Amino acid sequence: MPDQLPITPSFRLDRRRAVVTGAGRGIGLAAAAALAQAGAAVTLLARSAGEIEAGAAAIHAAGGVAEAATLDVSDVTAVAAFFDNRPAFDVLVNNAGTNRPMPMTDVTPADYDAVLDLNVKSAFFVAQGAARAMIRGGVAGSLIHMGSQMGHVGGPNRSLYCASKWALEGMNKAFALDLAPHGIRSNTIAPTFIETPLTKPFFEDAAFKSSVLAKIKLGRIGTVEDLMGAVLFLASDASALMTGSSMVVDGGWTAE
């Protein structure tokens, strides 16, 4: 008989502070809810106040701790000021993003800038602001970046999105190396198609939905609940030795 059994590291986040970008709905709101349900005090960020205030109120009503803060993550000066003027967060969920599906032959410079500026540039400087504050505060925190299966494979009409999400995967690995001496971890979550207010209109196209379901080997579109466990794992002590990695939550899409 062993003298003592190992004890699973805690998935709880009591007394920790978390911040989620793009938190008004969909994946961002689910991430905020997951963190709050595990005991974290969560700050929900978005450009407009309405949805994040409603999300924070819903978290409060469920017994959690949350606040809403308006922030345009594409404004790098405002992002730096936000993180400079608050105590360091323990957890960042870098979730704000966009997509403009179209053939690469149709992409304009304005399309390119819209997707790459938000999905790469804004994500970079949000991570930088959060990491700088963690370093100043001596916080061994966790950066979680919402990537995509399209950061691991290609897809038709997804040249801009793939470019941005492959870039995020590379940035994440470099972040992990730069921040490891400070005890700060950096990882991505790479979901398949998740039904959200942003993606729901696409699934009204029967041919598109059929093509997606043919690639998801588990046979269904993802839900935001499918990602909540991954967020919690990467935020918590349960993933203490994990950095520079990607959790692919894709129903088998990239296995083929």
| 135: nearest Cα among 76, 189, 186, 75 | 186
CA 187 to CA 173: how far, in whole Å?
A: 8
* 112 carries an active-site annotation: no
Angle at 92 between CA 82 and CA 149, to 5 degrees: 130
Q: 61: which DSSP letter?
A: H
Contact between 66 and 44 under an 8 Å Cβ cutoff? The reply is yes
What is the spatial distance between Cα 160 and Cα 166, in angstroms, rounded to a whole number?
10
Helix or strand (DSSP H, E) at 188: strand 185-191
Which amino acid appears at position 169 of this protein? E
Given the residues 89, 124, 161, 253, select the one marked as catalytic.
Answer: 161
Instruction: Give Cβ neighbours of residue 97 (< 8 Å, ≥ 6 apart).
Output: 22, 118, 119, 123, 146, 164
Which residues are part of the catalytic machinery? 161
